[in-house]
């Protein structure tokens, strides 16, 4: 078996309401990226409502689709912000 990694996922705003809980854990193959996580959530975890190009933050910083993930990362799924 190849190495696996687990990340903590956080859902905010309308995503939190859709996700049935604002926090979860997702296991991925080693070497996975933000894009791989989003695809996994959409395709195999029932989060088909998640936009393909969802904005993501890794460890509290905005990240790109290609950003690599590490064991224990905190990954937030960020709907359009509405502060101010």
For another protein, the binding residues (CB under 8 A) are 10, 12-14, 16-18, 49, 51, 57, 60-62, 76, 78-84
Nearest distance from residue 27's CB to another protein, in Å? Answer: 23
Print the SS3 string covering 10-59.
Answer: EECHHHHHHCCCCEEEEEEECCCEHHHHHHHHHHHCCCCCCCCCCEEEEC
Nearest distance from residue 42's CB to another protein, in Å? Answer: 13
CA 82 to CA 84: how far, in whole Å? 7
Nearer to another protein, 14 or 31 (CB): 14
Nearer to another protein, 4 or 14 (CB): 14
């Amino acid at each position: 078996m190849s190495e696996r990694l687990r990340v903590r996922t956080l859902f905010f705003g309308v995503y939190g309401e859709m996700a049935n809980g604002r926090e979860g854990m997702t296991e991925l193959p080693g070497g996975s990226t933000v894009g791989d996580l989003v695809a996994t959530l959409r395709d195999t975890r029932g989060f088909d409502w998640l936009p393909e190009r969802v904005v993501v933050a890794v460890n509290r910083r905005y990240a790109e689709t290609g950003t690599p993930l590490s064991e224990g990362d905190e990954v937030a799924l960020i709907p359009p912000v509405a502060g101010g």
